[in-house]
Amino acid sequence: METIQEDDIQKMISTLKNGGTVLYPTDTIWGIGCLATNEHAVQKVLQIKERPTNKSFIVLVASVDDIYRFVCILDKAITIYLEKGFEKPTTVIYPKGKGVAPSVIAPDGTIAIRVCTDVFCQAVLKKLDQPIVSTSANISGQASPKYFKDISSVLVKRVDYVVRYRQQDTTIQQASAIVQWDGKQLKSIRL
């Protein structure tokens, strides 16, 4: 198992706090991210990915408790689901987001949040105590990378910091499952 370097964590945190963009491993595929609360940085991510502005983002947080900071209503029933955990990394779309940059929230007011279980991301999220945007490390419309080596060199050059951790990892990664919470039940969007 690869060792996490503290300076890698600190460089990512510093870049994020200064409004920068990062290329980093998550509990799913490699992502491009920024602070979810910084609209200027979110706009930079849109430019890097050449992504339409009407598409919302996934937000990563460190714990179930963090979700309460970014949704207007969180029913106890979904909390029970979250605390039990899912079989694979799962992003939940909640009815009404708050406390993040306007472009992070979908046009219908929803917000997509995942409690990230990757040890590197957990370390960053806990020290940062802020949510991070997570979007696949590809140009919009192209295939998501399965490994770091599959990421376009164009993207690598466009971000402000590239995390060193797990660059050599050859474990095939997949995007998260996505479910939507309508206030009463979960509906599968992507498995």
Tell me which CATH code domain 6-190 carries: 3.90.870.10
Sheet holding 186-190, edge to edge: 161-162, 22-24, 31-33, 132-136, 58-61, 111-115, 90-94, 177-181, 186-190
End-to-end CA distance of the chain, in Å? 28
- Spell 115-146 as b/e; 16+ CB within 10 A means b: bbebebbbbbbeebebbbbbbbbbeeeeebbe
pLDDT of amino acid 1: 58
> 140 near 51, Cβ under 8 Å?
yes
Most distant CA pair in the chain, distance: 44
Strand partners, 132: 35, 60
Token pair recorded at residue 188: 């599968």
Question: pLDDT tens digits for the chain (191 residues)?
Answer: 578 899 999 999 999 999 999 999 999 999 999 999 999 999 999 999 999 888 889 999 999 999 999 998 777 777 777 777 777 899 999 999 999 999 999 999 999 999 999 999 999 999 999 999 999 999 999 999 988 999 999 999 999 999 999 999 988 888 888 999 887 778 888 87
DSSP, res 145: P
Half-sphere exposure of 65 (CA within 13 A, CB side): 3
**What DSSP designation does 46 have?**
H
